A = this chain, B = another copy of it.
Amino acid sequence: MTNELASWVDTPTRRAITAFVERVSSGPNAVPEAERVAVFDNDGTLWTEKPMPTQLHYVVEQWRKQAEADPSLAERQPYKAAVTGDYGWLGGSVDKHYEGDDSDLKVLIGALVGVTAGMSVDDYAASVAEFYEKAKHLTLGTPYADAVYRPMVELLRYLEANGFTVYIVSGGERDFMRPMTEAYYGIPPEHVVGSALGLAWDEDSHEVRYTAGLDFFDDGPEKPVRIWTRIGRRPLIACGNSNGDMPMLDFTRKGDGLALLIHHDDTGRGDPAYDKGADAALAAVDERGYTVVSVRDDWSNVFVDPAAG
């Protein structure tokens, strides 16, 4: 059975996971299969979020295209940064978010809103698919498909083999994730929960289109709310990597579930070490009963393609 977790070292962490899954999926304490729900954060949990989340890379690409079409834009920010490939200001805005200052992140989400306002959901899906086809990860240099954590995809398959249904519950924008979750993780669009751009029915064209607003930002206390909205069940397993995942982990622990916290403590295999944005979660591990997954100690391979790890 444990061969499926081939990129996991035989550590107490791995044994905690398999013991929990065995207990709830067989024997006298088995939970009905329909209730075996697992929720996973995306950025920093299933794939990299450094040097910046992929969604931000997409937005920058759209700004670059806009500046190409209208060169006068290239003289000012954020288009200047997009054209010249200066990711410092952009990455800094995400770091500020983890320090509790969302001001720049909201500017960026506002920029995404500006990119999609008026688009039909089908046209946005096509634009996103084109990005995934062409873009390269900014430090790994690989397609984003190869920036996926191999042990985590193995964990998804292992859970499914034991009757679990897996949902992605991420701060990333839902429709930006849907094409990649299906292609890279095998998770279908109806199992993707994320931040939501506003949507409205267009009676003239009979299409659903994005508005110029943000519906909600699916992070922190919003995560358990959206889990209930979408699934209507309390998860048995939750997995995240940052402070914003704590409510989701706590909601799961309240039902005696398994709460996994990925700790980015590795160097030399392409995934940088960082605690920023995870400090509160790491400090609460004992009190709240989280199970820490160490990238350094628990994973024998980091990336989908072992040659890249």
* A interface list, Cβ under 8 A from B: 34, 121, 165, 174-175, 178, 188-190, 192, 196, 199-201, 203, 206-208, 220-225, 227-233, 247, 250-251, 253-254
Give chain B residues whose Cβ lies under 8 Å from the Cβ of A174. 229, 232
Q: Are B233 and A190 in contact (CB under 8 A)?
A: yes
Complex CA gap A247/B231 in Å reads 24
Q: Which of B208, B220, B232, B233 contacts A224 (CB 8 A)?
A: B208
Q: Are B201 and A224 in contact (CB under 8 A)?
A: yes
Complex CA gap A208/B174 in Å reads 21
Q: Are B189 and A250 in contact (CB under 8 A)?
A: no
Q: Are B231 and A199 in contact (CB under 8 A)?
A: no
A-B contact sample (12 more), CB < 8 A, given A178-B232, A206-B251, A206-B253: A34-B188, A165-B190, A174-B229, A174-B232, A189-B231, A189-B233, A199-B229, A200-B225, A201-B224, A206-B250, A208-B224, A208-B225
With A188-B34, A201-B247, A232-B178 in contact, is A254–B207 under 8 Å at CB?
Answer: yes
Query: Smallest Cβ distance from A48 to chain B, in angstroms?
Result: 24
21 A-B pairs with C-beta separation under 8 A: A34-B188, A121-B228, A175-B232, A189-B231, A189-B233, A190-B231, A190-B232, A190-B233, A192-B232, A199-B229, A200-B221, A201-B220, A201-B222, A201-B247, A201-B251, A206-B247, A207-B251, A208-B224, A208-B227, A208-B228, A208-B251
Give chain B residues whose Cβ lies under 8 Å from the Cβ of A231. 189-190
Q: Are B190 and A247 in contact (CB under 8 A)?
A: no
Give chain B residues whose Cβ lies under 8 Å from the Cβ of A192. 232
Complex CA gap A208/B255 in Å reads 12
Query: Smallest Cβ distance from A91 to chain B, in angstroms?
Result: 29
Give chain B residues whose Cβ lies under 8 Å from the Cβ of A189. 231-233
Kindly report which residue of chain B lies nearest to residue A288, judged by CB atoms: B206
Kindly report which residue of chain B lies nearest to residue A233, judged by CB atoms: B189
Kindly report which residue of chain B lies nearest to residue A198, judged by CB atoms: B225
Give chain B residues whose Cβ lies under 8 Å from the Cβ of A230. 190, 230
Q: Which of B34, B203, B221, B228 contacts A247 (CB 8 A)?
A: B203
